Amino acid sequence: MDDLARAPRAAKRQPFVHGLPTLVAGALLAACSGNGSPSVCDNIPDQEIFTGDYVLLDLCFKDPEGETLTITATSSEEPVATAHAYNLKVNIEANAPGEATVTVTAADPGGRSASLEIEVLVPNRPPYAQGELSDIRMLVDGTKELPIDLSFIDPDGEPLTFAATSGDPSVASASIQNSDTLVVAGLAPGATTVTLTATDPGGLTGEETIDVAVLEPVLIFRDDFDSYDREWVFDTASSYLYEDGLLHLRSRYSSDFAVAERTVNVAEWEYRALVGVEEDAECNQVGLASEHDLRSWWALFAEGSYGVVGPEGEGFVIYRGSSDAVRVVGERTEMIWTSRSGVMTLAAGETVLEELDHQVFAPWSPELMDVAGLMAGDPCGETDKYSLFDWADLWAIEAAGDPASRRSEVDQGQDARAYSIPWVH
């Protein structure tokens, strides 16, 4: 339409005085002969404006005596659209979906007036998904929680409500928690989909579908350490030998751990080992390591004590304690270390030592593992004492896709793979 000037919201607005009438000199208006009321020169067609946009429209009124006219603009539904008149223009701004009538009135000093009406439609637009939510791989009896408040956009800026449905409720259930979190529970092995629906106040919807696989954990590896397994790669600090069905592992340096690693690609894991240290090695520490995308976690035992170490910013956070269940000098204790359903747990046999919500390691993902490790060290500097591994195994589900890509050394910041970490004593 020729008399319509659209502008994006970010454009500089024309100045106006909110709530005050605008005086227009009669000299600026087309004059008519004779006495009478002002009149409208030209009507304005209906307007369709999206929320957040505005239009600036030209006005034309005639006064027969050429007197100064006062022009005002009002909206029948200000929550939907607001209007302001200035000079010979009216500015209409769309605030929310709906319909409104804008009335523009020109009055002369004697109180005679003329009005025109502009019908305004602010269309309701449906919400839409922003990107794609990751597919879910989970354990039977496990749960997954995903924040969804930022997963959809409503172009009109209206609040959204969410609902979730499972394609096969016998495999996995789906629900919304606290109005903004998707909760999926694995009930039986199988595959299904979860449909997430966002609804705006006007009833328009947007949808996103997530593939869900519910799996039983499988044995990824087991090593009884009867002989050398080339899957393990020992670092330069390691001194090791296989003897009497045990892996003997120690560090050559008092400041570092000895580490043996092997590549995996798993999620929702349980990592176990039967561990101990030599007689008269009260200071030795022995444990397991997990790494994902160059971020590492450690679970360590020393005589009567334990520790869990994980990334925090560019450093480490340590959770430690003591327990009579941890007996490693001249003995063996089963270390059971799990990271499943949003919780990391460390146990000595049947004794649970530590339970940590994965949020303490945010934004990292401790439930994923692309490197499994064995660790041994002696903070007291006695590098001739061995830590002992009777057996080790890993139970998990295969992770989706390929192992995490390795960041460049420049992007690593602090080398998360350096094992000169704080001791747990």
CATH number of the domain to which 85 belongs: 2.60.40.1080
Q: What is the pLDDT of residue 400?
A: 75
- Dist CA 144 CA 268 (whole Å): 11
The parent domain of residue 332 ranges over: 218-412
CATH code for the domain of 133 = 2.60.40.10
Q: Of 112-116, 117-121, 252-256, give the lowest mean pLDDT range.
A: 252-256
C-beta separation of 212 from 220 below 8 A: no
Percentage of the chain beyond pLDDT 90 is 68
CATH code for the domain of 394 = 2.60.120.200
Whether residue 98 is found in the same domain as residue 183: no
Percentage of the chain beyond pLDDT 70 is 86
Whether residue 157 is found in the same domain as residue 285: no
CB count in 10 Å sphere of residue 383: 16
Whether residue 104 is found in the same domain as residue 240: no
- Please say if the pLDDT value at position 405 is more than 80: no
Whether residue 54 is found in the same domain as residue 197: no
- Please say if the pLDDT value at position 411 is more than 90: no
Whether residue 153 is found in the same domain as residue 36: no
What average pLDDT does the segment 359-370 reach? 90
- Please say if the pLDDT value at position 26 is more than 50: no
Residue 363 CB-half CA count within 13 A: 0
- Dist CA 293 CA 219 (whole Å): 22
**For the chain, how many structural domains are there in total?**
3
Would you say residue 264 lies in a domain? yes
- Please say if the pLDDT value at position 387 is more than 70: yes
Would you say residue 381 lies in a domain? yes
- Please say if the pLDDT value at position 18 is more than 70: no
Whether residue 357 is found in the same domain as residue 223: yes
- Please say if the pLDDT value at position 24 is more than 60: no
What average pLDDT does the segment 106-131 reach? 94
- Please say if the pLDDT value at position 15 is more than 70: no
Q: What is the pLDDT of residue 282?
A: 83
Q: Of 47-56, 156-165, 391-400, 416-425, give the lowest mean pLDDT range.
A: 416-425
Residue 165: pLDDT band by 50, 70, 90 thresholds?
A: very high
Q: Of 62-66, 139-143, 241-245, 415-419, give the lowest mean pLDDT range.
A: 415-419
Whether residue 117 is found in the same domain as residue 251: no
Query: If DSSP codes are grouped into helix, strand and coil, which group holds residue 233?
Result: strand
- Dist CA 56 CA 81 (whole Å): 13
Q: What is the pLDDT of residue 316?
A: 82
Q: What is the pLDDT of residue 233?
A: 95
Residue 118: pLDDT band by 50, 70, 90 thresholds?
A: very high
Would you say residue 417 lies in a domain? no
Whether residue 110 is found in the same domain as residue 135: no
Last residue of a domain, one of 215, 234, 265: 215
What b/e string do you get for 270-293 counting C-beta neighbours within 10 Å, with b at 16 or more? bbbbbbbbbeebbbbbbbbbbbbb
Q: What is the pLDDT of residue 331?
A: 92
Is the pTM above the cut of 0.75?
Answer: no
Query: If DSSP codes are grouped into helix, strand and coil, which group holds residue 181?
Result: strand
Q: What is the pLDDT of residue 379?
A: 81
C-beta separation of 419 from 300 below 8 A: no
Whether residue 92 is found in the same domain as residue 73: yes
How high does pLDDT run on average in the chain? 86
